[in-house]
Amino acid sequence: MTSSNPKQADRTAEASERRRAFAQVLANTFVANLTTSFLWFALVFWIYLETRNVLATSLLGGTYMLLLAVMGVPFGGLVDRWRKKSIMLGAQLVTAVAFAIAFALFLMLPTSAFTDIGSPAFWALGLLVLVGAVVESARGIALSTTVTLLVPAPERDKANGQVGIVNGLSFAVTSVFSGLAVGRLGMTWTFVIAVALTLLSLLHLWTVRIPEPQVVHADGAPQPVDFAMAWRIVIGVPGLVALIVFSAFNNLLGGVFMALMDPYGLTLVPVEVWGFIWGGVSFGFMIGGAWVAKFGLGTKPVRALLLANVVMWVIGIGFTIRENIWLTVVGILAWMAIMPVAEAAEQTVLQRVVPYEKQGRVFGFAQAIEVAASPISAFIVGPVAQFWLIPSLATADGKAAWGWLLGDGQARGIAAVFVIASVVGLAITLAALVSRPYRRLSDAYANAPVQPASGDSLGIAGVD
């Protein structure tokens, strides 16, 4: 027996422990995502059905994205400052408290108090659920850095694909049961289920052991909110600013779909059916995630990201061309199958070009910039669709002018918004494919040093 065998055995045991920890974190992420998505979907469904007001859902969606943007950098600083399990536990605890208070408020006041978008009760209920959902984004940032911590560099693109599978599965389950809960059980039992699942997720996470080192920060402990440092890190990587700006443009256009997709679907089918449809098409997330987990992204993830967006925008142009639920279902399924490819590509790039001890701030900064665009489009598109496009295309003149492209139906105004946004998105993506920043970031990825997964390699010690 050589002297190197004990060290090899230790490395093998450490790698096995990290694989088990990553699997447990993924399982808990599934439960946590299921909880927040379930209540969020249900609330949006219920409010639209009670009000039939596109403006109400777009304001809620825009507020959600605005809070994500505002909290991105603070959450990123916390992720770099504290152990990842502590961040996940704290986020889940806040979610549990917020959902419980929202439930209590719902029980105290009559239903009519929550159906007027100008009432304090509407915003109190919405904001409490939003707080619980937004705080979960800190888990997402922590999970992205945990991939770097626990997974060897050559396997991170596939690990990001596994994250996509988990997100898709939780989305599928909650989509089905949110519609059923609202349609069959009502919001009271929906709150009961959401609060119970949140507590179960918190208890399970408490038992998960992450072999997480105590990070020694090269530049000192990060400030609670440090936009300047995050910006310096980002501009230090050639082409990274362009990637974040590109994603921000995509989210600007994606806010259109966020604001109007549920109103569009609920115009075509009942809420229970729409919930089942979301559950079915959400398997697209798992299809895309499984593809990445199996085959990876190749040696050029930046190129994979842009090509995925080309496909997404082409789909966006076509899936509402006619008011046909099957066309919509196939289009959304294909769209969702592409999304995990784009998301895994961006995550893989950041995990390679950004030092591990600074990744929380960069992921948080990217989240802040990228999602800040969505509230703008959501707040604009809701009123534009509600007061202009929908009534305009419902008139005889509107149908005559646009019927050749969009067909005839109740939701043609919403369809027009989808087509316009997708055409703009396709043009931006094609321009990015031939741009200089794209080539610079691709070179930076190829030349970046590999970020190690082991605690010893990171110069840190200790476990949680």
Domains of the chain, start order:
18-211+224-447 (1.20.1250.20)
Q: With beta carbons less than 8 A apart as the criterion, state whether 369 and 244 touch.
A: yes
Identify the pLDDT of residue 459.
Answer: 39
Q: Where do runs of H (alpha helix) occur along 52-83? A: 54-81
The percent of residues above 70 in pLDDT, for the chain, comes to: 83
Identify the pLDDT of residue 103.
Answer: 94
The sign of the CA dihedral 425, 168, 145, 154 is negative
Read off the pLDDT of each residue in 97-112 and give the average, rounded to a whole number: 92
* Single-letter residue type at 52: R
User: 83: which DSSP letter?
Assistant: -
Identify the pLDDT of residue 450.
Answer: 61
Rg (C-alpha) for the chain, rounded Å, is: 22
Identify the pLDDT of residue 107.
Answer: 92
Band of pLDDT at residue 218, cut at 50, 70 and 90? very low
The sign of the CA dihedral 148, 151, 155, 161 is negative
Mean pLDDT comparison of 53-67, 161-175, 313-327, highest-scoring range: 313-327
Q: With beta carbons less than 8 A apart as the criterion, state whether 253 and 424 touch.
A: yes
Least-confidence region, from 86-90, 174-178, 198-202, 269-273: 174-178
Read off the pLDDT of each residue in 368-383 and give the average, rounded to a whole number: 69
Identify the pLDDT of residue 191.
Answer: 92
Identify the pLDDT of residue 407.
Answer: 67
Give the residue, 19 or 175, on which the prediction is more confident: 19
Read off the pLDDT of each residue in 348-373 and give the average, rounded to a whole number: 78
**Which residues make Cβ contacts (< 8 Å) with residue 91, sequence separation at least 6?**
135, 136, 138, 139, 142
Identify the pLDDT of residue 219.
Answer: 53
Mean pLDDT comparison of 185-194, 314-323, 366-375, highest-scoring range: 185-194
Give the residue, 5 or 48, on which the prediction is more confident: 48
Confidence check: pLDDT of 378 > 70: no
Question: For the chain, how many residues are written?
Answer: 464
pLDDT in tens, 119-174: 888 889 988 998 898 888 788 788 888 887 888 877 888 888 888 778 777 777 77
Q: What is the mean pLDDT of the chain?
A: 78
Confidence check: pLDDT of 458 > 50: no
Q: With beta carbons less than 8 A apart as the criterion, state whether 255 and 381 touch.
A: yes
Read off the pLDDT of each residue in 204-217 and give the average, rounded to a whole number: 71
Local structure of 214: helix, strand or coil: strand
Judge if pTM exceeds 0.85.
Answer: no
Local structure of 442: helix, strand or coil: helix
User: 238: which DSSP letter?
Assistant: T
CB atoms within 10 A of CB 178: 28
Token pair recorded at residue 356: 């591990």
The span from the CA of 339 to the CA of 108, in Å, is 40
> What is the Cβ-side half-sphere exposure of residue 132, based on CA atoms within 13 angstroms?
31
Mean pLDDT comparison of 101-105, 141-145, 392-396, highest-scoring range: 101-105
Band of pLDDT at residue 1, cut at 50, 70 and 90? very low
Q: With beta carbons less than 8 A apart as the criterion, state whether 285 and 164 touch.
A: yes
**Tokens 């496009």 belong to which residue?**
389
Q: With beta carbons less than 8 A apart as the criterion, state whether 156 and 348 touch.
A: yes
Read off the pLDDT of each residue in 418-436 and give the average, rounded to a whole number: 87
The span from the CA of 8 to the CA of 349, in Å, is 30
Identify the pLDDT of residue 93.
Answer: 92
Mean pLDDT comparison of 74-83, 245-254, 334-343, highest-scoring range: 334-343
Read off the pLDDT of each residue in 258-286 and give the average, rounded to a whole number: 78
Identify the pLDDT of residue 54.
Answer: 67
Identify the pLDDT of residue 224.
Answer: 56
Band of pLDDT at residue 85, cut at 50, 70 and 90? confident
**Which residues make Cβ contacts (< 8 Å) with residue 423, sequence separation at least 6?**
313, 317
Q: With beta carbons less than 8 A apart as the criterion, state whether 92 and 205 touch.
A: yes
Band of pLDDT at residue 214, cut at 50, 70 and 90? low
